[in-house]
Amino acid sequence: MSNTPYDDKDYAVKYDDRYISSESTKFAIREEIKCIESLLKNKTSWFDAGCGTGYHLKKAKGEVHRYGLDRSAAMIDVARTREGPEVELIVD
């Protein structure tokens, strides 16, 4: 099964600029992070299926074990370069 365009390294590197950091989505992303942080209270782990570049996994505050799964190796490669809490990342 094709995973285009997500397996393209250039696409993956530019993904956050297009979708996460875009002026049209910044507010929604901040609200998603707040929601995730609220849900993480009193939890011990978090699994993000389809984690892409791992933005949410790395930005949300909370003392939990973090796991990210994505079928794009290029997106996971970007996630591995992010600063933030330790995340176990899986390509599958």
State the pLDDT at residue 17. Answer: 87
State the pLDDT at residue 2. Answer: 67
State the pLDDT at residue 53. Answer: 96
State the pLDDT at residue 1. Answer: 58
* Beta strands in the chain, from DSSP E residues, in sequence order: 45-49, 65-70, 87-91
pTM: 0.88
Residues of the chain with pLDDT under 50: none
The length of the chain, given as a count of residues: 92
DSSP-assigned beta bridge partners for residue 69: 49, 90
